[in-house]
Amino acid sequence: MEPIKYQLRIPYSPETPVENGALPIDASFNVDFANAIAELESYNKHLYRPNTYLHKWWARRCGSTFRLILKHLVQDEAQRDYYAPGGLAGKIILDPMMGGGTTLHEAIRLEANVIGADIDPIPVLQARATLSELPLPQLEAAFEQFYQTLHTELAPYFMTACPSCGETTEVQFTLYGLHKTCQCGPAVFVNSVFLRYETDGTVIRLCPHCYAVTRSMKKDGATCHCSPSSDKPPLIEKGTEACATCGAPYLEDYRRPFYSRYTPLAIVGQCPQHGLFFASPTAADLTLIEKADVERAGLDFGRLADFAVVSGPKSADLISHGITSYLDLFSSRQLLCLRQAIDVLGNFPPLIRLNLALLVSTSLEFNSMLCGYKGGDKRRPGAIRHTFSHHAYSFPYTALENNPLHPARVSGTLQNLFDDRIRKARKWAQLPQERILRNGAAQIVALRGEVDAGTEVNHVADLRSGIRQFLLVQGSSASLDLDAGSVDFVVTDPPYFDSVQYSDLAAFFRVWLKRLAPDAARWDYDLADSAVDPQANGKGQYTDVLGSIFAECHRVLRKNRGRLIFTFHHWNPKGWAALTLALKRSGFVLLNRYVVHAENPVSVHIANLKALTHDAILVLAPIETGQQQAWQLPQTVEKTDSLRFSTDCATALGWLLNSDLPDEAIEPLWRKLLEPSL
């Protein structure tokens, strides 16, 4: 199949001819095309690059943008077309802060050999699992064996009965309400007593007196005909802060383990004859929950201290809610599943075990008591508001206990996640697809000749020949076991200056991966080497750590044609000042900058916030190459437009890197440029 042409022609600037060591990206970048495809991808990135989404990670950039960056490094104009396979054979590309692994996957597809490094083990393990060639039939057979073992053992804990016909079926999920108390006594809180709005006008709701699940039409508004019961606390919707009777505030009992602060209110299942149903828990349902609670006490997960919540910028929210152990974030039935998974995974070969361990770990985002319920509208595509839907810990009033072993491919189940994160992803990896714009519409095109997979090697010397080989390093990139001048390009996405998501939130998964795949990584690494620690950034940690990494990039880059390229944006002048100092101290100058679309404005973590939706692509070279552009310091930075703001900031960065301004003057200058907007 002939590659599809998009007219991606990159002219060379007369000021930077090829014979002087210039690269296509030094002169220009196809911003219009980058924006067009990024706007398609930015809302559902996981659908466009499925093989990079086996496990949860934060702040991923558009894979299409990084593919385009890499295509602008290709010398052969015939292979520079976005839809042409290959182009980087013989090149070695380093991502020293690999995170979600975008650079590695995009470069492997273009036949480069790659090096990926990260201090956190999760990015390294995800890259190893998703880039390694492993026949899909082997993974499917292993998963089926794994799933059937767990299902046979633990499905009895999730059995219920259809309220219409009594037929036994499996619970899909259980809804819980949160216990609080005032001076009058206890109360149970929910986000809403309304559970479901059907398209025919039927409303499913909870009775605020007896908790019965009822069905009625909107027009009659009928609920339950019971009388208020003194033996049940009142059911109260979110938003009520104080008791109307005694005036005292409602308080959560932080002395109780988190999972036990909830009481079951509704069972949701699928009947073969009657379809989806909502029902009040029966005595049999409650007995199964209580049985799991009793068995919970006997579960052995090793040292309890390993599950202790260490206070951090976001994990402090757990501690402030009286949660000191990650074990308490899971229901007893969910813990039974985890204990069984740990036992069964030991029977599989290392690479298969790693894939399944990552699958179980990522499933925890949909299988904790921090999950909320969002299935009230029948038109909504799922029932679960997952644990990190807001890139932070949130504490639901209506908690949703999912059944990870439900046999249907529904939200958050192992069956569904295997299908999406492994089966579909690995099929895509063998024949990657891209979107092409024709007459204003996006069409899918398969890129024959490309593969999103490679061969792992253990030594950098192995990267000097062959194609699609990868070397993974868990540890700080401030010191890499690489020869000077051994890397062609560094392409990365540094952590956000004051981001709190990376290492802190990832602890939610690491405590389990340490048991699911104990030999797969070095789990006792030092988080102090992380660049992202808001509590220390005021003391210059971001500058120091990032500067050390950039200095190492400078050492390992080929000096004539080597480039450091990364994306960056920030409103905070401290973030730009820290970046400026890190680059200046490590010996880089800015050759060019391009600003491209990065985030969909309705993304849940930036919606209704003063958030930037653009990234600056910064193209830098070692200062000793002598390739220096003449940047003009903007008199003002446009602060009302994301595109203009990012462009002006990147231009100011270029000027500052060329200047002789002392270090102590850099942050005040950035404050002068940016602070009036804050």
pLDDT digits (tens, 9 = 90+) for 612-645: 788 999 999 999 988 888 999 998 898 888 899 9
Q: Are 393 and 314 in contact (CB under 8 A)?
A: yes
Please give the helix or strand (H or E) that residue 655 lies within, else none.
helix 642-658
Helices 63-71 & 102-109, crossing angle to 10 degrees?
A: 50
Q: How high is the pLDDT of residue 602?
A: 42
Q: Under DSSP, is residue 585 helix (H, G, I), strand (E, B) or coil?
A: helix
Q: Residue 505: pLDDT above 80?
A: yes
Task: Report d(CA 205, CA 208) in Å as an integer.
Answer: 9
Q: Residue 545: pLDDT above 60?
A: yes
Please give the helix or strand (H or E) that residue 535 lies within, else none.
helix 534-537
| Segment 6-26 mean pLDDT | 52
Strand partners for 160: 169
Q: Residue 485: pLDDT above 80?
A: yes
* Mean per-residue pLDDT of the chain: 89
In angstroms, what CA-CA distances link 243 with 178, 181, 283, 502, 545?
Answer: 15, 9, 31, 39, 51
Q: Residue 345: pLDDT above 70?
A: yes
Please give the helix or strand (H or E) that residue 236 lies within, else none.
strand 235-237
In angstroms, what CA-CA distances link 425 with 56, 67, 392, 516?
Answer: 14, 18, 27, 22
Task: Report d(CA 15, CA 618) in Å as an integer.
Answer: 18
In angstroms, what CA-CA distances link 407 with 169, 352, 415, 527?
Answer: 11, 21, 7, 39
| Segment 468-473 mean pLDDT | 98
Task: Report d(CA 173, CA 523) in Å as an integer.
Answer: 33
Task: Report d(CA 549, CA 583) in Å as an integer.
Answer: 10
| Segment 598-607 mean pLDDT | 50
| Segment 168-196 mean pLDDT | 95
Q: Are 355 and 127 in contact (CB under 8 A)?
A: no
Share of the chain above pLDDT 70, in %: 90
Q: How high is the pLDDT of residue 383?
A: 80
Query: Which tokens in the block code for residue 499?
Result: 């981001």
Q: Residue 297: pLDDT above 50?
A: yes
Of 291, 333, 284, give the one whose Cα is nearest residue 162.
284
Q: What is the largest CA-CA distance in the chain?
A: 88
According to CATH, where is 3.40.50.150 located in the chain?
A: 18-132+423-625
Please give the helix or strand (H or E) that residue 614 lies within, else none.
strand 614-622
**Architecture of the domain whose range is 18-132+423-625:** 3-Layer(aba) Sandwich (3.40)
Write out 197-265 in H/E/C secondary structure. Answer: ECCCCEEEEECCCCCCEEEEECCCCCCCCCCCCCCCCCEEECCCCECCCCCCECECCCCCCHHHHEEEE
Q: Residue 60: pLDDT above 70?
A: yes
Q: How high is the pLDDT of residue 678?
A: 43
Q: Are 349 and 139 in contact (CB under 8 A)?
A: no
Q: How high is the pLDDT of residue 626?
A: 81
CA dihedral (436, 438, 444, 449) in degrees, to 10, reads -50
Report, in this order, helix, strand and coil percent for the chain, each rounded to 5: 35, 20, 45
Task: Report d(CA 106, CA 494) in Å as an integer.
Answer: 17
Beta strands at 614-622 and 563-568: parallel, antiparallel or unpaired: antiparallel
